[in-house]
Amino acid sequence: MRTFARNVTFALATATLFAAGSAFAQKSDGTWPRVIQNAIATVTVYQPQIESFNDVTLEAIAAVSVKPPKKDAVFGAVWFHARTTVDKQARTVTLDSTTVTQMKFPNASAEQRAWLKSVIDAEIPNWGRTISYDVLVAQLANVEQGQAASAKINNAPPAIIYVNTPTVLIMIDGDPKYKDVEGGLKMVGNTPYFIVQDGGTKAWYLKGKETWYSGQDVLGPWTAMTGTLPPQPIQDLAAKTVSAPPDSLKEEHSPTIPAVVVRTKPAEIIQTDGEPKLEPVKGTSLLYVKNSEDAIIMDINTQQYYVLIAGRWYTTKSLEGGPWSYVPGDQLPKDFPNIPPESDLADVRPSIPNTLEAKEAVLENSIPQTAQVDRKTAKLDVTYDGEPKFESITGTSMSYAVNTDKSVLLIKGRYYCCDQAIWFDASGPKGPWMVSTKVPDEVQSIPPECPLYNVKFVQIYDATEETVTTGYTPAYTGSYVYNQTVVYGTGYYYYPWYGAYYYPRPVTYGFAVHYNPWTGWGFSFGISYGWMSVSFGGYGGYWGAGGYGYGYHHGYGHGYHHGYNNGYRHGFGAGYVAGKNQGNRPSQYSRNNYQNRQGVKSTPRPAQQPAGGSRVRPSQQPNNVYADRNGNVYRNNNGNWQQRDAKGNGWQNTGSAARPSTQPAQRPSASQQPRPSTNDLNKQYQSRERSNQRSQGYQRQSGGRSRGGGGGRRGR
């Protein structure tokens, strides 16, 4: 099966204010609620609920109880906002500058409210402030977030090649560019693969993992060499330049030897193991191709095939003959959203608008990875292939450098460079460079046709004399929101620079890009056969600012040998098994561009216990208490909703007559407000459960490296 983990995401980041110590799973067995205890009161804080999240600012509400010694607890609600620092690789969210903006205790007198306010205000500095990253998304799914979609994304289909035998696609970045190397050999310079010509025989050789291929033309046809090897100088050169897949992806038996297809323009391969075998999707009028690593679906009503590539849907009447055309997600057949979450095809749900998985993927795309940069120690060097050469950006007054591997812009006579998600500026193209304190407004007008489009998603949030607070959303690493889902890449082909040096640009197609809710976007080109090696490391251009490195670190290794031929279809919920077993490495969501970057300060971590005499600990009480937007407090008592009586008489059942709130998110301003419907409360309950699953599931996913369990399709 194309096993991706269930996309239950990003819940309770808001709970940060009240969490003590380092991040932990948001379980209902004691992690929440949290208890803050001192000599004058015991404050119990239940898992907070997010009301808004914009850039790095979080607003939330939490149900609380305050119990003075030898007196009954008083229940109420607390609103707060905070500035967040996010480390997606460490999967932590830290809340800074937390401020309580409103409190409401319905059954407290004026004198009691004043005392309660003094208790809450006094304890804020003592509360822990680090929580799990996985706690934020499920809560955000209940919040109407304005998600900025990327404009003018190019969705024209690449050349889609259908095959029914094992085949690997080799991409060359435009017409082949040749470079003379030692021993009279000639190498193709504009490809990540090892392709070399013998100077004497003029024969070409291509290196796979275990297999060599030979041909008379660089574009093919290529023939696998069995029992023979290339000339020794070519083997020696490969030993120096080829990076082999890691030991974790070594084959336990003879690898499949696939055919080779070479393309110089954007292309993708979809393949089946023999003729397509169609199986019904339960509860729908859809069929799916069972013997494929790709998501290939047929709509019975129209007899159209649909395939998912780089987060985009393409359709055709004939897999073999095409033609292919793009289908917006909201124009997919009506049964696509009905694909069961537990089915073999559930991993396509993030690419179907209005599914929970799609909503949460879009939400994750809005969360920035943040860092604090030391203005004195952060350094930048920019080198050019010759003298700096700039080209204008269409429709703007800006220009960008084309003969460097850095993102350098010329704006109103000053030079700016975005490197590893940090902005620098200088008076000249070669520096000296200093950390920027503001991103020029013009950057937001960079169109997606420009290869530097991604830098507009790196922001500066604050600056002092010593530091700059900066951050980037996943769009910086190539993940864009389009038509209510996330897609990979802009879809445009960017011409590389090829002079004395070769500087590739980010690509969308050709490397089997797939989305995994646990790890984001990754590549799996050639990995299904444990086959492919790449000829050089260090170039991040092919994989954009995310620096994915080699595709086999992110692919579903062993798809053919440990994939659908061995019953790998176990449902969406088993995705974490595939993640840990198949060599997946975290990609743009969890890889941190700031990690190990000179001048980047680490995220400050709070003390395990607060100062000032207070003690923070998990409570053994059920995590079943909620607050609504009007400050009323409810609990889920074995599936029945109860409200805390305003007169302090305990919990009262809320009947079906409870009216839904028609008010927007706001601070309470009147004593009589509509109560939330049971449906509203159920949504809060479900999002809390999703946050628990997300946090616990990711811990299981990252907890091992064994190769048993579910395999994986190449999942586009």
Separation of CA 223 from chain center: 38
User: What is the SS3 assignment for 16-66?
Assistant: HHHCCCCCCCCCCCCCCCEEEECCCCEEEECCCEEEEEECCEEEEEEEEEE
pLDDT for residue 344: 86
Work out the angle at residue 533's Cα, subtended by the Cα atoms of residues 528 and 479, and round it to the nearest 5 degrees: 70
What's at 114, amino acid-wise?
A
Average pLDDT in the 250-255 region? 55
Among the ranges given (170-174, 448-452, 472-476, 546-550), the one the predictor scored with the smallest mean pLDDT? 546-550
C-alpha 197 chain-centroid distance: 40
Sorting pLDDT into bands at 50, 70 and 90, what band is 255? low
pLDDT at residue 534 greater than cutoff 90: no
Cβ neighbours of 205 (radius 10 Å): 23
Average pLDDT over residues 641-669: 57
Q: Is the pLDDT of residue 319 over 60?
A: yes
Residues above pLDDT 90, as percent of the chain: 37
Strands of 540-611 (E only): list them: 600-601
**Residues sharing a CB contact under 8 Å with residue 450, sequence separation 6 or more, in sequence order:** 393, 394, 400
**pLDDT of amino acid 243:** 66
Q: Which helix (H) or strand (E) holds 502?
A: strand 502-503
Q: What is the pLDDT of residue 560?
A: 26
Give the tokens for residue 51: 């009301």
Distance CA 599, CA 420 (A): 12
pLDDT at 696: 64
pLDDT number for residue 382: 96
The first and second tokens of residue 308, run together, are 């998912």
* Residue 496 near residue 503 (C-beta atoms within 8 A): yes
Give residue-wise pLDDT tens across range 388-438: 999 999 999 999 999 999 999 999 999 999 999 999 999 999 989 999 999
Report field, pTM of the whole predicted structure over 0.85: no
Q: Which of 244-253, 505-514, 655-664 is least confident?
A: 655-664
Q: What pLDDT is stored for residue 245 in this prediction?
A: 56
Which SS3 state, helix, strand or coil, does residue 683 take?
helix
Q: What is the mean pLDDT of the chain?
A: 76
Quick check: bond before 676 cis, omega within 30?
no
Q: pLDDT band at residue 138, thresholds of 50, 70 and 90?
A: low
Q: pLDDT over 70 for what percent of the chain?
A: 70
Q: Where are the domains of the chain?
A: 8-354+606-658+674-693, 369-472
- Per-residue pLDDT of 143-178, as tens digits, reads 655 455 566 889 999 999 999 998 989 999 999 999
pLDDT at 525: 57
Q: How confident is the model at residue 182 (pLDDT cuts 50, 70, 90)?
A: confident
**Left if phi > 0, otherwise alpha if psi is -120 to 50, otherwise beta: which for 537?**
beta
Instruction: For residue 476, give the 3-state DSSP assignment.
Output: helix
User: How far is it, in rounded angstroms, from Cα 145 to Cα 164?
Assistant: 43
**DSSP β-bridge partners for residue 100:** 80
The pLDDT of residue 299: 97
- E strands, 198-252, where? 204-207, 212-215, 223-225
- Looking at residue 6, its pLDDT comes to 24
Closest CA to 393 of 385, 401, 383: 401
Q: For residue 206, what are its two tokens?
A: 């291509």
Q: Is the pLDDT of residue 450 over 90?
A: yes
According to DSSP H, which parts of 342-420 are helical?
356-364
Answer with the residue of higher pLDDT: 253 or 615: 615
CA distances from 466 to 376, 463, 600 (A): 7, 8, 12
Checking if the pLDDT of 607 tops 70, the result is: no
Residue that is written with structure tokens 């169609």 in the block: 278
Mean pLDDT confidence for 480-507: 91
Nearest to 59, CA basis, from 80, 86, 85, 83? 80
pLDDT for the residue numbered 668: 38
If one compares 96 and 396, the residue with the highest pLDDT of the two is 396
Residues written for the chain: 716
Compute the average pLDDT of residues 533-540.
Answer: 40
* DSSP-assigned letters across all residues of 106-152: TT--HHHHHHHHHHHHHHGGGS--EEEGGGSHHHHTTS---PPPPTT
Give the whole-angstrom CA distance, residue 291 versus residue 163. 12
pLDDT in tens, 328-359: 999 999 999 999 988 889 889 999 999 988 98
Q: What is the pLDDT of residues 583-598, one digit of tens each?
A: 333 333 346 788 778 8
| CA 575 from centre of chain | 15
**pLDDT higher than threshold 80 for residue 44:** yes
pLDDT at 144 (0 to 100):
53
Tokens of 540: 């991040």
Nearest Cα to Cα of residue 127 among 55, 33, 57:
33
At 362, the pLDDT band (50, 70, 90 cuts) reads: confident
Q: 176 vs 147, 195, 217, 226, CA distance in Å?
A: 40, 10, 11, 26
Residue corresponding to tokens 């109420």 = 76
Return the higher-pLDDT residue of 154 and 96.
Answer: 154
DSSP 619: -
pLDDT at 236: 92
Closest CA to 641 of 700, 607, 682, 581: 682
6 contact partners, CB below 8 Å, separation of at least 6: 341, 346, 357, 517, 572, 573, 575, 693, 697
